[in-house]
Amino acid sequence: MHSRIAGTGSYLPAHILTNHDLARQIDTSDAWIRARTGIHERRIAAPGEQTSDLALHAARAALGAAGLAAADVDLIVVATTTPDMVFPATACILQSKLGAKNGPAFDVQAVCSGFVYALTLADKMVASGAVRNALVVGAEIYSRILDWNDRGTCVLFGDGSGAAVLVPSADPGILSSHLHADGSYRDMLSVPGSLSEGQVIGTPFVRMDGGAVFKFAVKALADVAREALAANELSSDAIDWIVPHQANIRIIEATAKKLDVPMTRVVTTVDRHANTSAASIPLALDEAARDGRIAAGQHVMLLAVGGGFTWGSVLLRW
Bridge pairing between strands 299-306 and 193-196: unpaired
Out of 57, 112, 178, 299, pick the active-site residue.
112
Out of 57, 248, 275, 299, pick the active-site residue.
275
Instruction: Please say which residue, 5 or 285, places its beta carbon nearer to ligand UT7.
Output: 285
Task: Tell me if 92 sits within 8 A of 137, measured CB to CB.
Answer: no
Residue window 94-113: x/- pattern of binding to ligand UT7, with contact defined by CB under 6 A: ------------------x-
Identify the residue among 38, 306, 308, 312 touching ligand UT7 (CB under 6 A).
306
Distances (CA, A) of 63 to 84, 137, 215: 22, 11, 37
The secondary structure element, H or E, covering residue 287 is helix 280-290
Residues 250-269 that bind ligand UT7 (CB under 6 A): none
Contact status: 278 vs ligand UT7 (CB under 6 A): no
Identify the residue among 129, 211, 292, 297 touching ligand UT7 (CB under 6 A).
211
Contact status: 213 vs ligand UT7 (CB under 6 A): yes
Contact status: 32 vs ligand UT7 (CB under 6 A): yes
Torsion of CA 125, 126, 127, 130, to 10 degrees: 60
- Of 33-41, 54-62, 75-83, 179-187, the window that binds ligand UT7 (rule: CB under 6 A) is 33-41
- Of 53-61, 192-200, 211-219, 231-239, the window that binds ligand UT7 (rule: CB under 6 A) is 211-219
Closest CA to 4 of 173, 175, 176: 173
Task: Tell me if 229 sits within 8 A of 235, measured CB to CB.
Answer: yes
Contact status: 34 vs ligand UT7 (CB under 6 A): no
- Of 98-106, 148-156, 176-184, 234-242, the window that binds ligand UT7 (rule: CB under 6 A) is 148-156
245 is catalytic: yes
> Count residues contacting ligand UT7 (CB under 6 A)?
20
Instruction: Please say which residue, 100 or 220, places its beta carbon nearer to ligand UT7.
Output: 220
Distances (CA, A) of 102 to 78, 108, 168: 15, 19, 17
Task: Tell me if 8 sits within 8 A of 164, measured CB to CB.
Answer: yes
Closest CA to 147 of 157, 162, 160: 157
Q: For 196, what's the count of Cα atoms within 13 Å in the CB-facing half-sphere? A: 5
β strands within 121-233, DSSP E: 134-141, 159-169, 174-181, 189-190, 193-196, 199-202, 207-208
Residue window 151-170: x/- pattern of binding to ligand UT7, with contact defined by CB under 6 A: xx--xx--------------
Contact status: 28 vs ligand UT7 (CB under 6 A): yes
Identify the residue among 3, 8, 10, 37 touching ligand UT7 (CB under 6 A).
37
Q: Which amino acid is at 239?
A: I
DSSP 124-142: HHHHTTS-S-EEEEEEEEG
57 is catalytic: no
Contact status: 275 vs ligand UT7 (CB under 6 A): yes
Residues contributing to the site for ligand UT7 (CB under 6 A): 28, 32-33, 36-37, 112, 151-152, 155-156, 189, 208, 210-211, 213-214, 247-248, 275, 306
Catalytic residues: 112, 245, 275
